Amino acid sequence: MPTSARSCRSCCELKLGCDRLNRLMLFTISRPPLIVTVFLGMILGSLIGIACLSASRALSVAARIYVDFFRGTPLLVQLFMIYFGLPALFKEIGVAFSLNQWTAAVIGLTLNSAAYIAEIVRGAIQSIELGQREASESLGLGPVQTMRYVIFPQAFRRMIPPLSNEFISLLKDTSLVAVIGFEELFRRGQLIVAQNYRAFEIYFSVALVYLILTLLSSQVFGQLERWMNPLERAKGRPIQTSQAGS
């Protein structure tokens, strides 16, 4: 094959590869189950984490059972239980019930993520000194006000590094929802491979997209951690000096 023909072919393949990568990135951004999952998982996980520390034994035991179940069983099994198991269970009792792939994926990822976030929240709250709670009570704040205005804001700063790890893990775990037919990034890659049989290039592109997203996520959480740190913010402030006679 002439050199010019090989060069032309290489350029075409490179352009095609970049086009595939751009399409995969656009596809990932345009279908946001991860964003919904993070939002719902954070809310549910925070509530369950606080419930684990509740004075009510029934509430704390129920929260503990939830956390142990979803942390102790594989996400893949949970997805199958939700997408295939729940409709079959309702069918046994004579109730018509079905879930589409998107809803099942969001529910499965949310329930699983909430269990890990609950442990992060519980640990962060317990790391706050007991004197903070006692000082709040001496000022007349109730338990809810103490948690909202004193304990949780301080605990949230300590949650950011482990929340970053959980978000990155969740980002990679979204590839598992392909087993229930949901067309996310990995499933999209499978469909492209079925069309052109370029398995290595496509799966490498999929891996590259995941890598880019995880690196960007790490940078975002790193910036958030520095912004939430009062010492880091103080370093960027100019020193104010008072002028005599002003």
CATH number at residue 123: 1.10.3720.10
Assess if residue 214 is contained within a domain: no
Assess if residue 194 is contained within a domain: no
C-alpha distances out from residue 214 to 57, 111, 120, 169, Å? 39, 21, 20, 9
Assess if residue 10 is contained within a domain: no
Assess if residue 58 is contained within a domain: yes
Residue 115 belongs to domain spanning: 29-174
Per-residue pLDDT of the chain (246 residues; tens, 9 = 90+): 554 444 444 444 444 445 555 555 555 544 556 788 889 999 999 999 999 998 899 999 999 999 999 999 999 999 999 999 999 998 888 888 888 888 899 999 999 999 999 999 999 999 988 888 888 888 888 888 888 888 888 898 899 999 999 999 988 888 888 888 777 777 778 888 888 788 888 888 888 888 988 999 899 998 888 888 776 666 655 545 444 443
Assess if residue 106 is contained within a domain: yes
Assess if residue 170 is contained within a domain: yes
| Structural domains in the chain (count) | 1
pTM of the model: 0.79
Assess if residue 109 is contained within a domain: yes
Are the C-beta atoms of residues 30 and 188 closer than 8 Å to each other? Answer: no
Assess if residue 80 is contained within a domain: yes
